[in-house]
Structure 1
Amino acid sequence: MRTPLFTGSGVAIVTPFTKETVDLPVLGRLLDFQLENGTDAIIVCGTTGEASTMSYHERMRTIEFCVEHVNGRVPVIAGSGSNATENAISLSRDAEHAGADGLLLVTPYYNKASQAGLIRHYLTIADAVKVPMILYDVPSRTGVTMAPETYATLAKHPNINGVKEASGNLGTIQRTVNLCPEDFTIWSGNDDETVPICALGGKGVISVVANILPAEMHTLVKLCLDNDFAQAGTLQLALKDFCDAMFCDVNPIPVKTALNLLGWDVGPLRLPLCEPSEANVQRIRQALTKMGLTLAEP
């Protein structure tokens, strides 16, 4: 029987940058903020962490730093996906060696693998590491969609723990639940779908919004896991406008902008990502103010 890598709200944490490299002191403060506010797992070097713009050395040092700083208080899950299977294996083995408790592996992007290719890709990686893996389905960014039948095949491998589902297709998720064993965990990959996915049996969320509102996202999932879907639904609706604001531009542009507006000094985005339009900056400002958050002095 597989145990979920975590239940609750895991933060897809941003990577703070200086002009030259990763700003580890700021990352340490971000991690402390998350841990102090109930976050149940740290997901590092994922999409929100701009991993695709990081050098190998930066990526591994960032994973090592998170493992060292968190020091076992919650699971640290490292993004180690790639569109080349051999590269994903290397990243996964090195993240495992760095002490990560688990791995998050996005579907191979650009190649547009078939379902048979996806199965072979993930099984090959799962055979190469000992720490549990979370699959990551986000077709809006990769051009590839995982079929429920593919999940059912992959769920037979004991090292594949579950999936972060960001397809936005609740019908697909229902078929996945029906086809897969109970110990194959589903996490929401979209903040605004946390409650419906938990209502279908999901165990939590891998959250962008938790970078700003860790306590609220933790509470949201706890209400779901406590089977209080009336209160959870009310909170989900209250967070909807904020969730939308955090995705008014390509992730992680809005959330890093928000953190900088709040005084966290997470530094610049890395090209090809760039600053949002002034209209979107104003929308982000208004969303933060509406949530009662205090903006830093300019």
Structure 2
Amino acid sequence: MNIKGLSGIVTATPTPIKNGCIDAESVRDLARYLIDHGSSAIAPIGGTGEYVSLSDRQKLDMVRATIEAVDGAVPTIAGLIAPGLGEALESGKRLLDAGAHGLLVTTPFYVRPTQEGIIDYFKALSDNLDADLVLYEFPYRTGVSLTAETVNELAQTTRIVAMKACNADTGLQMRVLEAAGEKISILSGDEDVYPLHVAAGARGGLIASSCILPNVWNRIDAFAKTGKLGDALKLHSKIRAFLKLLFSEHNPGPLKAALRLVDRPCGEPLLPLRKASEATEAQLARLLPEMLALEASMK
């Protein structure tokens, strides 16, 4: 199963840990729910999946559990967050051996490489990993933004077939779409302005809150892609307070709290992250009935 031509809502999933092990039952429950509600792919062990806090064994078990749950219905795109090439190659090969259909790869963090270094890095991954890649730009975490020229170069010279774009610079996002949007699938990673990204040419999004509101996100996506931007923005405005709350503390703390409140428990965040505060959980409990009613109305 290849990941070329990604579009629609790709769901980033949290990692449920129970007694130090992957809770396969929770993985299956959430993955099958998301497939039944239109997710075009599942992306475990990314930032939402707490990649940096998982052991190697937990990462592989999570990917295997997701692939088993998905059962060929949609691709499984495993996260890969590494500071340098050696670790990325070793981890990437293990994840692919576990069955991942592609890899969601961040730009290297900590070292803050140059644009040329980033190009060399992804070329090396493409030469040594037998898989298509999703480029993950997230300067808030990595400290490095990608220029439109860099994304265009990577789209033409590597196995990158899609990009999760999480850059607060809207002008840069527009330039990236203009430069590479016809070569690879640009997916919005910014849930707060998603309709605008799709209206500008993004083919979909890689979204964490679709774990809770898959129907709403599919409708927003459909509106934005069919020229109904006003309808997309109106519907999106109804969930913006919820989105703000979900990301008011370090992801996935509030998301895991919300999933527990809707009877899809995924355990607690792993250290050094902490679970959502009592105040945030109380606000989620007050807001979720309205969100679930909106979700039910989208069927």
Fold equivalence (TM over 0.5) = yes
Greater CA drift, 260-269 or 10-19: 260-269
Q: Could you state the TM-score of these two structures normalised by the residue count of structure 2?
A: 0.93
**What is the identity, as a one-letter code, of the residue corresponding to 2:104?**
L
The number of equivalent residue pairs is 293
Cα separation, 1, equivalents of 2:160 and 2:170: 21
**What is the identity, as a one-letter code, of the residue corresponding to 1:241?**
A
Contact (CA 8 Å) 2:152, 2:179: kept in 1 or not?
Answer: yes
Report whether the alignment pairs 1:141 with 2:141.
yes
Per the TM alignment, residue 229 of structure 1 is displaced from its structure 2 partner at its CA by 1.9
Tell me which residue corresponds to 1:176.
176
Over 3 Å counting, the alpha-carbon distance change for 1:158 and 1:119 in structure 2 is closer
Tell me which residue corresponds to 2:9.
9
Contact (CA 8 Å) 2:156, 2:183: kept in 1 or not?
Answer: no
Per the TM alignment, residue 257 of structure 1 is displaced from its structure 2 partner at its CA by 0.9
Contact (CA 8 Å) 1:5, 1:75: kept in 2 or not?
Answer: no
Contact (CA 8 Å) 2:163, 2:185: kept in 1 or not?
Answer: yes
Report whether the alignment pairs 1:194 with 2:194.
yes
Contact (CA 8 Å) 1:223, 1:232: kept in 2 or not?
Answer: yes
1:89-144 alpha-carbon deviations (Å, 9 max, x no partner): 12222222222221100111111111111111111111112321111111111212
Per the TM alignment, residue 181 of structure 1 is displaced from its structure 2 partner at its CA by 5.7
Tell me which residue corresponds to 2:263.
263
Per the TM alignment, residue 3 of structure 1 is displaced from its structure 2 partner at its CA by 7.5
Per the TM alignment, residue 195 of structure 1 is displaced from its structure 2 partner at its CA by 0.8
Tell me which residue corresponds to 1:206.
206
Cα separation, 1, equivalents of 2:252 and 2:274: 10
Contact (CA 8 Å) 2:220, 2:236: kept in 1 or not?
Answer: yes
Contact (CA 8 Å) 2:44, 2:79: kept in 1 or not?
Answer: yes
Per the TM alignment, residue 5 of structure 1 is displaced from its structure 2 partner at its CA by 4.3
1:28-78 alpha-carbon deviations (Å, 9 max, x no partner): 111111111111110011000111111111111211221122122111111
Q: Which stretches in structure 2 are left out of the alignment for 5+ residues?
A: 294-299
Tell me which residue corresponds to 1:296.
none
Structure 1 stretches of 4+ moved >3 Å? 2-5
Contact (CA 8 Å) 1:40, 1:218: kept in 2 or not?
Answer: no
Secondary structure at 2:78 match in 1: strand
Per the TM alignment, residue 25 of structure 1 is displaced from its structure 2 partner at its CA by 1.0
Secondary structure at 1:91 match in 2: helix
Tell me which residue corresponds to 1:231.
231
Tell me which residue corresponds to 2:277.
277
Tell me which residue corresponds to 2:244.
244
Aligned positions of 1:1-298 closer than 5 A: 4-180=4-180, 182-292=182-292
Cα separation, 1, equivalents of 2:272 and 2:32: 29
Secondary structure at 1:156 match in 2: helix
Per the TM alignment, residue 225 of structure 1 is displaced from its structure 2 partner at its CA by 2.5
1:195-238 alpha-carbon deviations (Å, 9 max, x no partner): 11111110111111111111111222122233322221211111
Greater CA drift, 19-28 or 178-187: 178-187
Cα separation, 2, equivalents of 1:31 and 1:3: 18
Q: Which stretches in structure 1 are left out of the alignment for 5+ residues?
A: 294-298
Secondary structure at 2:274 match in 1: coil
Contact (CA 8 Å) 2:6, 2:185: kept in 1 or not?
Answer: no
Contact (CA 8 Å) 1:81, 1:91: kept in 2 or not?
Answer: no
Per the TM alignment, residue 290 of structure 1 is displaced from its structure 2 partner at its CA by 2.6
**What is the identity, as a one-letter code, of the residue corresponding to 2:171?**
G
Q: Could you state the TM-score of these two structures normalised by the residue count of structure 1?
A: 0.93
Contact (CA 8 Å) 1:4, 1:183: kept in 2 or not?
Answer: no
Per the TM alignment, residue 286 of structure 1 is displaced from its structure 2 partner at its CA by 2.2
Give the aligned CA root-mean-square deviation in angstroms: 1.8
1:158-206 alpha-carbon deviations (Å, 9 max, x no partner): 5111210111221001111222261222101111221111111101111
Over 3 Å counting, the alpha-carbon distance change for 1:62 and 1:292 in structure 2 is closer
Per the TM alignment, residue 157 of structure 1 is displaced from its structure 2 partner at its CA by 2.2
